[in-house]
Amino acid sequence: MTTIDLATTNTDLVAHEQLREAMETIEAYYRSRGIFADRFGFGERPAIIVVDFANGWTDEAYAAGSRRLDEPVENTARLLEAGREQGVPIVYTTSPWRPGTADQLFKSAADVSDGYRAWDQRACQIDQRLEPAAEDLVIEKESASAFAGTHLAGYLISLQCDSVLIVGCSTSACIRATATDAKSLRLKPVLVGDCCGDRAAAAHVFTLFDIQARFADVVSVDEAIGSFGSFGSLASS
């Protein structure tokens, strides 16, 4: 059996190289037809949605956790600090803890993996590196999307938000679902790519490529922070 060193193979750089030919072919096809090239841009009244950066996904003690999320978590901490300074509303999502029931929302919550910590209440708690502030909203969601079955849309409407900066995990699942629903609600979705993560680099890289063509803009954390200065503090507006 071949042993795979995930520290060197499960990286964005390797995934980019592995997927390069496919993405270049797709991109050339889009260009030839003049499609999927536009950008939505940043809105004037954004909110930040932190999707599922909970211990069960960020801590490798759990079978579903991955150290690939360390850098996105650190970048998100920078984004949140800058956002709070500008009065940008911040929303966190996680999944509810349901001990002793068969009603588990995600496969990982039902898995029994030898050698790893069992899924528990801590798994559903926000990573302490991104501790919510008193004024932040924390939503327990029942589906992949932060909008499905929650009051998130109504909350953003009440704040007159026109756009969302989406960060968190996993890029190929809950991030994609949240961005798609945000666009369906006529919000401007912006994925902060280096604040998002996935256990598999290939899934992360290709999802960012694909979703930028269809439903959202993808920017860096530095671009996102720089955008805050374009509309000034929202705290008093």
Task: List residues with catalytic annotation.
Answer: 174
Identify the CA nearest to 205 among candidates 217, 216, 193: 193
Query: Hunting for tokens 């920017």 — which residue is that?
Result: 219
